[in-house]
């Protein structure tokens, strides 16, 4: 009988741990949406257009770059964006479960002559 109680206790602990792990989200809590712009870096000067805008989100989200929807696969997004000569503001908006996070970077385009 004692072995049965011990086994039941062990199974209960394993079940609680499994439920706790199932609620975890890599890269942040279950309620936090995080978006990261990997390229280009803020303040970068480029000599060619378009530029590649890429980054990551920590959970299932929709992503728009300068109001254009961009596909997300495996938490990563990437697209080519035409820039105009001079200073360009690039805005990335990620939305998931009613939460929205906005990140911006500034890129200066100086074409080579």
CA distance 46 to 111: 8
User: What pLDDT does residue 30 have?
Assistant: 58
- Nearest in space to 94 (alpha carbons), one of 62, 59, 67: 62
The answer to whether 39 and 105 have CB atoms below 8 angstroms apart is: no
Q: Where are the beta strands (DSSP E) in 12-111?
A: 35-39, 44-46, 51-57, 62-65, 68-70, 72-73, 76-81, 86-96, 99-109
Tens digit of each residue's pLDDT (9 = 90 or more) over 14-49: 654 444 444 444 444 556 899 999 999 999 999 999
Provide mean pLDDT across the span 71-94: 97
Residues 6+ apart with CB under 8 A from 10: none
Instruction: Return the pLDDT at 1.
Output: 59
Q: For the chain, what percent of residues have pLDDT higher than 90?
A: 67
Compute the radius of gyration of the chain from its Cα atoms.
Answer: 22
Q: Which domains does the chain have, with CATH numbers?
A: 31-109 (2.60.40.10)
Listed residue (55, 53, 102) closest to 79, CA to CA: 53
pLDDT tens digit sequence for 82-91: 999 999 999 9
């Amino acid at each position: 009988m004692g072995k049965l109680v011990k086994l039941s206790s062990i199974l209960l602990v394993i079940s609680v741990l499994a439920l706790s792990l199932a609620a975890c989200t890599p890269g942040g809590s279950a309620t936090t949406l995080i978006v990261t712009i990997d390229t280009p870096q803020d303040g970068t000067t480029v000599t060619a257009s378009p530029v590649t805008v890429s980054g990551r989100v920590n959970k299932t989200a929709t992503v728009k770059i300068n109001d254009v929807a961009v596909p997300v696969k495996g938490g990563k997004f990437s697209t080519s964006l035409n820039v105009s000569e001079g200073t360009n503001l690039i805005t990335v908006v990620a939305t998931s479960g009613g939460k929205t996070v906005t990140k911006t970077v500034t890129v200066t385009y100086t074409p080579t002559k």
